[in-house]
Amino acid sequence: MNGPGRLITFEGPEGGGKSTQARLLADSLRARGLEVLTTREPGGTPTGEIIRDLLQNNLSGEPIRDATEALLFCASRAQLCRDVLAPALGRGAWVVLDRFTDSTLAYQGFGRGFDVAALRSLNDFATGDVKPALTLLLDLPVEEGLARAVSRSGKKDRIEQAPLDFHRRLREGYLRLAREEPDRFVVVDAAKPVPDVTADIARVVEARFFAR
């Protein structure tokens, strides 16, 4: 028996290594004999992956309005929560998720300038009872993160192309969210080498869930 399911989310600005660290954490949890599911936002379902492609690559050929962007993220989230996350958590699985509700608050709220309280309501509608037990905020300077992101993919996606001030606002937004919910958030220095970040995360997870 796994016991109660746990949702661990990874958040942060571009280029922080969220996908890599999520995979490494999932591997370490599986080594403990736990059932672990890894997934991402937007995406994680067939509908969500189509929305992801639309958001990243502007497949429609027309500019995506900021309000449309926010609603599309929440639409993908609603599908993921109902079809994947809630069932997995309900059977006692641990879920490691690359981005979740805080991304909407940071990117569309602090970054795009939408009302954060209104976005929280949208998130609540999309997620239902699915809430993170721990959120790991992989933080690093904006310029370094964007340089890493471009180096990784060879190009900038639609959101990475936003002005530098946008990325600075969302980073500060993330740090503000972490200050407001210190019991859920842990800020991790993602500018460190990957093994050091992995070790820092391992210590946080050990202390939070496994220390006796």
CB of 45 within 8 A of CB of 79?
yes
DSSP summary character for residue 64: P
Amino acid at 21: Q
Q: Percentage of the chain with pLDDT > 70?
A: 99
Q: Percentage of the chain with pLDDT > 90?
A: 85
pLDDT tens-place string over residues 157-192: 778 888 999 999 999 999 999 999 999 999 999 999
Sheet with 134-139, side-by-side order of all strands: 36-40, 94-98, 6-11, 134-139, 185-189
Reply yes or no on whether the pLDDT at 150 is more than 90: no
Predicted confidence band at 56 (pLDDT cuts at 50, 70, 90)? confident
Over residues 77-93, mean pLDDT: 97
| C-alpha to C-alpha distance for 6 and 133, rounded to whole angstroms | 6
Structure tokens at 21: 């660290």
Using DSSP, state whether 95 is helix, strand or coil. strand
Dihedral of CA atoms 153, 157, 163, 169 in degrees, nearest 10, equals -90
Structure tokens at 36: 């672990």
- How much is the pLDDT for 1? 36
Q: Radius of gyration of the chain from Cα atoms?
A: 16
Backbone dihedral angles phi then psi of residue 168, each to the nearest 5 degrees:
-65, -40
CB of 209 within 8 A of CB of 7?
no
Predicted confidence band at 212 (pLDDT cuts at 50, 70, 90)? confident
Amino acid at 102: D
Strand ranges in 70-123 using DSSP code E only, listed in sequence order: 94-98
Question: Whole-prediction pTM value?
Answer: 0.93
Residues in the chain, overall count: 212
For 89, half-sphere exposure in the C-beta direction (CA atoms, 13 angstrom radius) is: 19
Domains present along the chain, CATH in parentheses: 6-210 (3.40.50.300)
- How much is the pLDDT for 3? 60
